[in-house]
Structure 1
């Protein structure tokens, strides 16, 4: 079941972004960011739906908290049905289908390679913050795990707000300007998590990285797609491959935190943020 969920989700993410680029002729980054906002709502509501089902506040039909699964299944099937009856003119494919080797060769294009690394850094900071923020509160403030668990919720709250407001800001200002603002917020967050020793400063740092990191994926992804319009499908697949940064960063952060404490884990994330600053000149809009 988990394998099917993972494979299906990957296929959907890989195909959806090029599909959106066919429909949206304007600001692609803003549209992708709004999609991230809707995705964040689903993630945010999942535990509450499960809780209501377990408490009997919702008709659970004997499923209890598991009522979450048929609810999301129905929503997914409805989305697939609506999409299947929606006419979307797609570019006619010519020549033979691209192989995995052909797709990987696209990494030879500087913008594709740099975008791939950018996606890795974004996901690494995203997953890294989720795992490290509670540990920082426990280490610096002496909190229990239950007390520190709110750090993850705080991150997701500001990430959700960032996706919603980002879809607006990306329509009224240049993507490069907003990207600089976002990465600068992430840099301030890293500084706060380096030196913060009180609740207010650490909460502010978590909120900053949540908001700042919320729009990086959409901006980097859209730049990669627009840079090689004739190979959107292949580029999209490569960008989704970059999600494995969520595996690499936590591994390195674990080694660093074992060596010098949670400040070491923050240092690993700071390297990813520093890289995103180098990507600024690649944002063309």
Structure 2
């Protein structure tokens, strides 16, 4: 009976992770908006920024609001904002309306990212928490993987790609109503760190390097998601409805990489895993400059998804290990670092317009990947110097 009751509370919370994955549809959606409104690469690069900018602006304030109104209510608020965003393009299909829709999607997603994990701790005990968190991330990955297929279904079967929005709105409504009907007893809220306390940990050099690493890896992730269909269209002449599958290949291999990473990180050191996968990612980015066949590009995109899949987790864990006493501030800071997804795509658009091809986007991604390599080397050098000093 208790098990059944626990499952009835767990399922609506886990379904929230599926809604969380909707933000990744911005990759293929950017190509649709760009095509429909004949946008330049620079202007199209603003669309992903509308989603990820809010992690910088709202992650810490949302934690304060969550402590005031409760975690479950905060998740419901995130769903409601997502619903409004998804219905906006249906009321007025314009570039401005699409920007507003993705801004609201980003705000809703920020709220979900901040509040869903803590809510999960109220429906499972400590022994099942790790597996439940992993299940949540798998569900989110399935949502990310499904997004391009839903967009293609809307474009080819329903007649217009924007009909994916009511599908997402309907799923968000189900999530909100399901949680509304599910009583969840929440543990007393802990004091949230202030914005000043969160950013004060940046005084530490290693934390600064790791924070910029989070900005870089999220930027690369969003950038590759956005680049996938554009590269297939530019080099292979594929229609957008088919090119969107490039993002699905990327996310599918990212899921495989995450599972593999979970196993490898129990056997390898963080440093070994980090450097081997960063070097693989950089090598494949180099190969993408010369890849012109459909299968070569898809294999390269899949390999990138695999290579970069667990880098975020490694950087995050290194930051927590470095300053365990400031875990709350570190967690808040790393969540704000997700705004890297708002930084990289506009830079990709600007350089692509400047050089006249997606090689410009690849150059930006390569630069950020090289930072990740340099970040690892600087931290490794810092450890060596400290060890020598100690001796």
What is the aligned partner in structure 1 of residue 110 from structure 2? Answer: 10
- After superposition, the Cα gap between the structure-2 partners of 1:218 and 1:264, relative to the gap in structure 1 and judged at 3 Å, is same
Give the one of 186, 196, 207 matched to 2:291: 196
Match of 1:36 among 122, 133, 137: 137
- Residues 229/73 of structure 1: CA separation in 2 closer, same or farther (3 Å cut): farther
Unpaired segments of 5 or more residues in structure 2? 1-83, 86-102, 158-163, 384-391
| Matched residue, 2:268 | 173
Change in Cα spacing, 1:43 to 1:152, as seen in structure 2 (3 Å) is closer
Report the CA distance between 1:113 and its aligned residue.
Answer: 1.1
Q: Distance in 1 between matches of 2:373 and 2:279?
A: 8
Number of aligned pairs?
Answer: 270
1:247-262 equivalent positions in 2, closer than 5 A: 247-260=342-355, 261-262=357-358
1:226-241 pair list within 5 angstroms: 226-241=321-336
Contact 1:120 1:242 in 2 (8 A): yes
Q: 1:275 aligns with which of 371, 384, 390?
A: 371
Aligned with 1:105 (options 177, 200, 204): 200
Is the contact between residue 148 and residue 244 of structure 2 (CA under 8 Å) also seen in structure 1?
A: no
CA distance in 2, matches of 1:18, 1:34: 15
Q: Is the 8 A contact 1:31 1:167 kept in 2?
A: no
Alignment match, 1:136: 231
Offset, 1:144: 2.7
SS of the counterpart of 1:195? coil
Establish whether residue 161 from structure 1 lines up as the match of residue 260 from structure 2: no
Given that 1:34 and 1:163 are in contact with CA atoms closer than 8 Å, whether structure 2 keeps it comes out as no
Q: Distance in 2 between matches of 1:67 and 1:111?
A: 43
Q: CA deviation at 1:79?
A: 7.6
In structure 1, how many angstroms separate the alpha carbons of the residues matched to 2:301 and 2:197? 40
- Checking the alignment, whether the CA contact within 8 Å between 1:151 and 1:203 is kept in structure 2 is yes
Q: Look up the match of 1:123.
A: 218
Alignment of 1:207-222 (within 5 A): 207-222=302-317
CA deviation vs aligned residue, 1:228-278 (integer Å, no higher than 9, x gap): 222222221211111111111111111111111211110100011111112
Structure-2 change in CA distance of 1:130 and 1:49 (3 Å): closer
Q: Distance in 2 between matches of 1:81 and 1:176?
A: 46
Structure 1: gaps spanning 5 or more residues? 56-63
Q: Work out the CA distance in 2 between the residues paired with 1:226 and 1:16.
A: 23
Conserved? CA contact 1:18–1:236, under 8 Å: no
Q: Which residue of 1 aligns with 2:318?
A: 223
- Whether the aligned pair in 1 keeps the contact of 2:193 and 2:328 (CA below 8 Å) is no
* Alignment check: 8 A CA contact 1:256 1:264 kept: yes
- Structure 2 distance, partners of 1:230, 1:166, is 27
Tell me what 1:60 maps to: none
Deviation readout 1:19-41 (Å, 9 max, x if unpaired): 999x889xx9x997765333202
Equivalent-residue separation in structure 2 for 1:192 and 1:208 (angstroms): 11
